[in-house]
Copies of this chain bind each other. A is one copy, B any other.
Amino acid sequence: MANKTIWKRKDLLGIEELTKEEIHLILNQTFSFKEILERPIKKVPTLRGKTIALIFFEASTRTRFSFELAAKRLSADTVSFAAASSSTVKGETLKDTAKNIEAMKVDLVILRHSMPGSSYMLSRYLEAGVVNAGDGSHEHPTQALLDVFSIYEKKKKIEGLKISIIGDVAHSRVARSNIFALKKLGAEVTICGPKTLIPVDIEKLGVNVTYNLDEAIKDADAINILRIQKERQKETYFPSIREYIKLYGITEERLKKAKKDVLIMHPGPINRGIELFQEVADGANSIILEQVTNGVAVRMAVLYLLCSGETIEEKEK
């Protein structure tokens, strides 16, 4: 039976504005594309003749690779632009860039930019679709979708699961997008980290807050460990790295207090020996590398839905 929800948005800017049905539509689509990634020939002609521009104002090899691979496996053409986003790159310039890209008849723009809301701004100026690949500390929707997909694949559901997010929640677009997605799908979300790294009004998003790692770990079905962004921490939000490791670093010892089948997740790249230790990162509970695979599949699904505006099922009817 065909999936009745049809994708109608031209953009994927954030999880906050998506409905539960839209998230499920992307997840279902992701299953189809993940199957393609297991084949010897991983390429399908779905987006042949479409042009996708990757505009990265922040360095990110893996996210760019993941989107680029997703695009190429759908047979889209890609053009890529990477630059540092300096303080002089003002909104007006972003608009000009956008209008120029549009004038070149690009079908989809994937934007990473340090300014929260940048992809929303871009979207307003463009008829072409926009994918937010990270806008400052605001949202990173495809990361949340791949995280949710990864949990769903293992646990066969999201509703009713207990998910803990550990670390620097205050600066994390990954955490924000995850909270939105998980709550919409009915999970119980606990966030945990040093007080200075937890936003004061975070409970408004419907999450539990604890500063005690053992408590966050105890009943969790999945633990999503955030990267300590050493490069972003100009001010000291916690006494020292050593203190952080002691209180919040996920070691094998620590994991003994968790459920036997808890999923260990990390958006990468891992600071090994800081927020996550070797034996856990590479251990039996870790699904970190499957997250990377799922990242390509979920991005194929997103590119496909934005470029075609209908589900495969709909098309096949």
Interface residues of A (CB under 8 A from B): 37, 40-43, 48-51, 53, 61-62, 65-66, 68-69, 72-73, 77, 79, 81, 83, 92-93, 96, 99-106, 268-270, 272, 289-293, 295-296
Contact = CB atoms under 8 A, between A and B. Distances in A.
A67 B105 CA distance: 13
A105 B72 contact: no
A177 B273 CA distance: 38
Chain A contact surface mostly: helix
A130 B283 CA distance: 25
Nearest to A270: B96
Contact of A51 (B42, B53, B102, B292): B42
B77 A61 contact: no
B69 A268 contact: no
B99 A289 contact: yes
A3 B105 CA distance: 28
A104 B43 contact: no
Contacts of A40: 49
B79 A68 contact: yes
Contacts of A103: 289-293
A53 B104 CA distance: 20
Nearest to A101: B65
B42 A104 contact: no
Give the most central of A41, A92, A104, A272: most B CB within 10 Å. Answer: A104
B49 A96 contact: no
Give the most central of A69, A103, A106, A272: most B CB within 10 Å. Answer: A103
B41 A48 contact: yes
* Closest 6 A/B residue pairs (Cβ): A41-B49, A103-B292, A43-B49, A103-B289, A72-B77, A103-B293
